[in-house]
Amino acid sequence: MGHRAAGLAAWAASGVLAVALLLLLPVAGAWSADAERGKALFGHCKRCHQVGSGAAHRIGPHLNDVFGRTAGSFADFRYSDAMKDAGSGGLVWSEETLDAFLADPHTFVPHSRMSFDGMEGVEDRADLVAWLRGFSGDHSNPSPAEPTATPEEYGLDPQILAIEGDPEYGAYLAGECTTCHRTDGTDEGIPSITGWPLDDFVIALHAYKGGKRVHPVMQMVTGRLSDEEIAALAAHFYKADGDP
């Protein structure tokens, strides 16, 4: 009981309980939520999360059976300290808590690794939450998994993914990355890049390099990197959050 109380106090101190007051109100529009429309809205999420049959942890944890689950509770996924603290403080995912989190992730769980800025539309959130609800409970006939970014999506040669990166060389190259991205893995308005699955990291950087993802700074940085250097950075940041 003492650990739970301490966790709740830490969560309150972070400002989460101020947002949690919104949970006293019903989720507007939830009574008429359109789950099929929510499936399309999941496009905002699928670069980091998978859901459905065969879903696995990627940049973010998979979202099967998310309803009723304590935040930060998968033993085989590396959460931010902020998300683990929120779970220790009593945060459990429900229609209401997911709605509040999706509305403003950075206020609801400050310093988490969530790179999504939030979904303003009340009906959009209700539709997305309704669709995710279908992946909690009975999985006797689950829908196919929603893919994250794939090599095919970006026209990336699979041989590039087979390059084994040197994490020590990646550490040498990482200085330019860490002028913006925090080395402790927290998100201060710029997405965390520590602990990413190797393939996801390589795909993302090549997408910037090839102009498939648009961001002037990232395109400038990746344009100077070779395939081997990208692989090395992926290996470095994969281990940067404490892996042996």
In the chain, where the domains are located: 2-133, 151-239
Q: Residue 56 is which amino acid?
A: A
Q: How confident is the model at residue 4 (pLDDT cuts 50, 70, 90)?
A: very low
Higher pLDDT: 122 or 145? It is: 122
| Other Cβ atoms within 10 Å of 164 Cβ, number | 9
Higher pLDDT: 217 or 160? It is: 160
Residue 231 has pLDDT above 90, yes or no: yes
Same fold, 2-133 and 151-239: yes
* Domain 151-239, second-level architecture: Orthogonal Bundle (1.10)
* Most confidently predicted of 43-47, 73-77, 218-222: 73-77
Residue 69 has pLDDT above 60, yes or no: yes
**Three-class HEC string of the chain:** CHHHHHHHHHHHHCCHHHHHHHHHCCCCCHHHCCHHHHHHHHHHCCCCCCCCECCCCCCCCCCCCCCCCECCCCCCCCCCHHHHHHHHCCCECCHHHHHHHHHCHHHHCCCCCCCCCCCCCHHHHHHHHHHHHCCCCCCCCCCECCCCCCHHHHCCCHHHHCCCCCHHHHHHHHHHHHHCCCCCCCCCCCCCCCCCCHHHHHHHHHHHHCCCCCCHHHHHHHCCCCHHHHHHHHHHHHHCCCCC
- Token pair of 77 as six digits: 């996924």
Residue 110 has pLDDT above 50, yes or no: yes
Residues 88-99: pLDDT tens digits? 888 889 888 899
pTM of the model: 0.56
Residues 161-181: pLDDT tens digits? 999 999 999 999 998 898 888
Angstrom distance (rounded) from CA 159 to CA 33: 43
- The topology (CATH level 3) of 2-133 is Cytochrome Bc1 Complex; Chain D, domain 2 (1.10.760)
